[in-house]
Amino acid sequence: MTLTALNQLKKLTTIVADSSDLAAIEKFRPLDATTNPSLITAAANQAENLELIQSAFAQARNEKYEDDELIERTIDILTVKFGVEILKLIDGRVSTEVDAALSYDTEATVAKAKELLALYKAYGVDQNRILIKIASTWEGIQAARILEAEGIHCNLTLLFGLHQAQACADAKVTLISPFVGRILDWYKKAENVDAYPIDKDPGVLSVKQIYHFYKQHNIKTEIMGASFRSIDQVLGLAGCDLLTVAPNLLAELDQDTRIVKAQLSENQVSENNPQDLVALNKESFKQAIEHDLMSSQLLQGGIDGFIKAREQLNSLLRQSFGIDAEIKA
């Protein structure tokens, strides 16, 4: 029997589903799953999830929330409800994202993370099965530092460079999600290039750099490659701690029969001339972001995109439940 690329990859790397599509998660049975506002909004548009949406709205209303707060609470409850349903299908963890509008507010991020965890607890979910997903801004990383010190595990997302990875390591976060595809997209546009060979793919090389840096310094934070445009990118990072992959690419990997070899391994990390571990403060971190046009544009663009996705979900729920009509009346 020929092993598919997906089956081979699972022997080298923990595969995570980058999806809120319950049917896809049930089909591919990953160990973990990740969600984000865009994925939650897409799932909320599926007719089969109507009952989940209605129950989230009813719960928020029963908690006596009104007007704008009613919809925002509904979104939080719905996000957690999707997480609960996903956890029924997997053995590992689900990543649940804090409202991206809070990305530059440490205290508000900590408070929202605890609100989400309280909802999970009310549904009987063990806290250790939840990763609180936070954008890798300075303020977000400091929020993660506080949460991790309290035993709350975090996944730092929208990560595009070594400076962010270093700050996350210093904060002792559980997991980081360096992006691959968005880096590739940026360089293709910036350099007017149609494609890169996989060994020169800027997104793949960025994750490899972070992987080697972490392993050279014995940093325990898990590395989960994210944001893939092709199965070649996924396979180019075979051996990474974790890879979170969208269902369409999981399906391609499940049909592919090429031989998969590890591209990353702790045993192959050179101990010669490791890059220095730099202690970043707020000023030096902000300077590093500002001096890296790619990172600065993609970080802010990613935050803006997630805010927009949440606003779209807000509008969808308002329309579905006639909230604006109620307020005007």
pLDDT digits (tens, 9 = 90+) for 145-178: 999 999 999 999 999 999 999 999 999 999 999 9
Non-local (6+) Cβ contacts of 182 within 8 A are: 160, 203, 227, 298, 302
Domain count, the chain: 1
Would you state the pLDDT for residue 276? 75
What are the beta bridge partners of residue 131?
95
Give the residues of the chain that fall short of pLDDT 50. Answer: 325-329
- What is the spatial distance between Cα 299 and Cα 291, in angstroms, rounded to a whole number? 13
Which structural domain range is residue 143 located in? 5-267+274-321
Report how far residue 237's alpha carbon sits from residue 179's, in angstroms, rounded to the nearest whole number: 12
- b/e per residue, 86-125, with b = 16+ CB within 10 A? bbebbeebbbbbbbbbbbebbebbbebbeebbebbeeeeb
Do residues 95 and 34 make contact, with C-beta atoms less than 8 angstroms apart?
yes
How long a stretch of residues is the chain? Answer: 329
**196 in a structural domain:** yes
**Does residue 112 fall inside a structural domain?**
yes
Identify the CATH number of the domain in which residue 46 sits. 3.20.20.70
Assess if residue 328 is contained within a domain.
no
Residue 329 lies in a domain: no
- According to DSSP, the residues that pair with 94 across neighbouring strands are 33, 130
Q: What is the pLDDT of residue 148?
A: 99
> What's the pLDDT at 1?
65
Rounded-to-integer distance, Cα 300 and Cα 187, Å: 16
327 domain residue, yes or no = no
User: How far is residue 96's CA from residue 102's CA, in Å, rounded to a whole number?
Assistant: 14
- pLDDT tens digits, residue range 181-212? 999 999 999 999 999 999 999 999 999 999 99
Largest Cα span, the chain: 70
Cite the active site residues. Answer: 133
25 domain-assigned: yes
Domain membership flag for residue 326: no
The predicted pLDDT at position 67 comes to 84
